[in-house]
Amino acid sequence: MQVNSDRPMFYETVTTCEECDFVHRVPRLQQGERLRCEHCGHVLITLHKHAFARILGTGLSALLMLILALSFSFLGFSVNGLERTVSLFNTLSVLLSQGYLMLGAIITLALFVFPVVYLSSVLLLVASFRYPDRLRNIRRFCLRWLVVVQPWLMVDVFLVGILVALVKLSSLADISFKLSFWAFCGYVLLLLKTVVLVDKRWFWNRVAGPSSDHPIVSGTAKQQGLIGCRFCGATLAGNAHHCDRCGHSVYSRRPRSVVFTVALLIAALIMYIPANVFPIMETTFLGGTEPSTILGGVFVLWSMGSYPVALIILFASVVIPLAKVVSLSWLCWQSCYPSRRLTSQKITLYRWTELVGRWSMIDVFVVAILTSIVQMGQFMSILPGPAVLSFTAVIVLTMLAAMAFDPRLLWDKDASRTQAQEGEACERDT
């Protein structure tokens, strides 16, 4: 840890790592310090310098940029003398007018609802600390929403989807960036910065106070008859059913974690078949309609010489979903029948699987963007294909599968194997 201030800012007696269940006594931390789990390396607490002021600044600026992005034209599209200007609202209105209610709802949640809920919650939470004796229930409510909504923020994925869509259109039309596009870029950067500044354990400590003190020794909470709350990091007595700090249900290990994960992966595999067999996009040009599958779009981009974009779509839409299914299936197997491979390597695989999952939404956003821009009747138009919803279901199901898997199971098997090896060694010595 690097100390950047002499002023102590955080003290929480005991906290439990959400990935390995290792119990830590938290030392006094200063602004700018970060505490990692000494067992698995997971970041437990980060104290940012001037966190409240910076969160207020970036959060309010992000909302302002969103308002600007919705107030003006977003992109301009020109082909053979025909011109069209679209706004972010066109992305929704075109999808809804064409009857694609589910896809429109997904875009609405990803671009507007979830980010606005997140920003509103964090701003209200920070502002409420001016009245420490009031608004306690509101602070808890806002903090719960922060934790729930954060994994589903995808504005950065949407921005990359815009760039990919424009590369696809670059050979067919002239594209111009309008004022709202640059405001949207600022909105994405400011929202991501706000997310980085929010540390849920630090906030829970400010909202509900430090977790209860327990006499601990080096080891996991389960070994000491305790339970760690994965929602806020508190350490509770082994017979607890709800967390004293956040009110969330607690359990030593997620009930039927492997069963739920496998069920979600099977469902994702089933949906993966129509997502790749049926067209994800249908392009009409001079009265003729040409369907395009995910792989077909990759081949078209490759033939156009857009090799980086083709590789992005290939990895995001084909490789990553399959890799997630294979990785999580292997981790489920390892949680039941562990190999001698290091558990730290398995946890690294799990972290990457959880991190990259939402980036598969690029192709869905590309289709939505192209649909909103290219609407010129029989001359040229683009509409979503039947595979869009199937592919979206694959992404959501694999993300839910990663959330359902409990990585602490991997460490349990590692500890059991270590104890067995130590027992065999003792018997040989005897």
pLDDT in tens, 155-193: 999 998 888 888 777 766 677 888 899 999 999 999 999
Is 224 part of a structural domain of the chain?
yes
Residue 215 sits in the same domain as residue 175: no
pLDDT in tens, 318-359: 888 899 999 999 999 888 887 767 788 888 889 888 888 888
Task: Give me the residue label for tokens 């259109």.
Answer: 169
Residue 60 sits in the same domain as residue 41: no
Residue 319 sits in the same domain as residue 374: yes
How many CB atoms are closer than 10 A to CB 371?
Answer: 25
Is 204 part of a structural domain of the chain?
no
Q: Exposure of 153 by Cβ count < 10 A (0-12 exposed, 13-18 middle, 19+ buried)? A: buried
Residue 188 sits in the same domain as residue 264: no
How many CB atoms are closer than 10 A to CB 376?
Answer: 18
Residue 59 sits in the same domain as residue 174: yes
Nearest to 313 by CA among 167, 156, 106, 185: 167
Give the pLDDT of residue 415: 58
> From CA 6, how far away is CA 309, in angstroms rounded?
48
Give the pLDDT of residue 342: 79
Residue 278 sits in the same domain as residue 413: yes
Question: How many folded domains does the chain comprise?
Answer: 3
Q: What is the CATH number of the domain that holds 68?
A: 1.20.140
Give the pLDDT of residue 268: 94
> Which residues form the domain of 24?
1-49+210-244
Handedness of CA 54, 56, 57, 63 (dihedral sign): positive
Structural element, H or E, at residue 66: helix 51-71
Is 123 part of a structural domain of the chain?
yes
Is 308 part of a structural domain of the chain?
yes
Give the pLDDT of residue 378: 62
What is the bridge-based pairing of β-strands 174-177 and 82-86? unpaired
pLDDT in tens, 54-75: 999 999 999 999 999 988 888 8
Is 312 part of a structural domain of the chain?
yes
Helix (H/G/I), strand (E/B), else coil: 217: coil
Structure tokens at 257: 């974690």
Residue 15 sits in the same domain as residue 147: no
E strand spans, 168-278: 174-177, 226-228, 235-237
Helices (H) and strands (E) in the chain, counts: 16, 15
Q: Exposure of 125 by Cβ count < 10 A (0-12 exposed, 13-18 middle, 19+ buried)? A: buried
Structure tokens at 170: 């670059």
Helix (H/G/I), strand (E/B), else coil: 9: strand
Structure tokens at 206: 């400010």
> From CA 158, how far away is CA 358, in angstroms rounded?
10
What secondary structure letter does DSSP report for 175? E
Q: For the whole model, what pTM was predicted?
A: 0.83
Task: Give pLDDT < 70 ranges for the chain.
Answer: 1-12, 81, 132-133, 171-173, 209-218, 285-289, 304, 340, 375-380, 413-430
- Which whole-number Å values give the CA distances from 136 to 131, 244, 282, in the listed order? 9, 14, 52
Residue 265 sits in the same domain as residue 344: yes
Give the pLDDT of residue 291: 74
Is 427 part of a structural domain of the chain?
no
Residue 267 sits in the same domain as residue 408: yes
Residue 29 sits in the same domain as residue 61: no
Structure tokens at 389: 């919803």
Structure tokens at 308: 């980086």
Please state at what angle helix 179-197 crosses helix 51-71, rounded to 10 degrees.
160
Is 153 part of a structural domain of the chain?
yes
Q: Are 188 and 163 in contact (CB under 8 A)?
A: no
Is 428 part of a structural domain of the chain?
no
3-state secondary structure 12-28: CCEEECCCCCEEEECCC
Task: Give me the residue label for tokens 């709202």.
Answer: 180
Residue 388 sits in the same domain as residue 295: yes
> From CA 220, how far away is CA 34, in angstroms rounded?
21
φ, ψ of residue 243 to 5 degrees: the values are: -70, 135
Residue 305 sits in the same domain as residue 391: yes
Give the pLDDT of residue 235: 81
